[in-house]
Amino acid sequence: MAYLMHPRLLMTRRVGQLTVGLFLYGIAIGMMVRAGIGVGPWDVLSQGIAAHTGIAFGWVTNIVGALVLLLWIPIRQRPGIGTVVNVLLIGPSAQVALAIIPAQTVVGSQLLLFAGGLALLALATGLYIGARFGPGPRDGLMTGIHRRFGIRIWIVRTAIEVTVLAIGWLLGGNVGIGTLAFALLIGPMVSVTMPLLRVPERVAVPDAAVPA
């Protein structure tokens, strides 16, 4: 038997997708922040914490991710390599985007930048999840609670994100039309990118079927 893709090439693709996906994820977050019309619930929380502590947004994103990862312990959720890299990489890449992208104040530019950030986020999500190295800390918290207690995943996700959004808003995070757009669109968009970008399992075929 022979593999359609050599195991080393398969691993190279997975590592590449993970790294590029997480880097682009942070860039996408930075784009939406600079658009100034609202961000996703977890980023609203990071903005609020950053406003009160003076810690840069990107580093707050790292800290929040690490704290969420600690919540995996009581629900017996095990992190993958991708989970740890997620915590380490998204914050710095978001900070890079914030350093090079100016804040937008014209409505048309705000909408375009936010739309580009949302599309990039969907692509980045498909890349890093498709690499099959484990979920990010926030997604893993949701799926872990679902698995541990049998609560429907949409109920868990809604409860967590509404709570996070409320705390972030009270702390001064930016809630706006972008927040609503994120809530309504990111699910359908990711449902398209994830199947397209999922790295296949090793597929075995007879030697005779493999060209010489």
Taking the CA atoms of 123, 125, 128 and 131 in sequence, report the sign of the dihedral they define.
Answer: negative
Q: Where are the alpha helices (DSSP H) in 80-173?
A: 81-100, 107-130, 137-149, 153-170
pLDDT in tens, 151-210: 988 898 889 999 999 999 999 999 999 999 999 998 889 889 988 998 887 655 444 444
Q: Look up residue 167 and give its two tokens.
A: 């705390």
In DSSP notation, 44-82 reads HHHHHHHHHH---HHHHHHHHHHHHHHTTTTTTPPP-HH
By CB neighbour count within 10 A (0-12 exposed, 13-18 middle, 19+ buried), where does 130 fall?
Answer: buried
User: Residue 192 and residue 188: Cα distance in Å, rounded?
Assistant: 7
User: How many CA atoms lie less than 13 Å away from 201 in the CB half-sphere?
Assistant: 3
pLDDT in tens, 64-97: 999 999 999 998 888 888 889 999 999 999 999 9
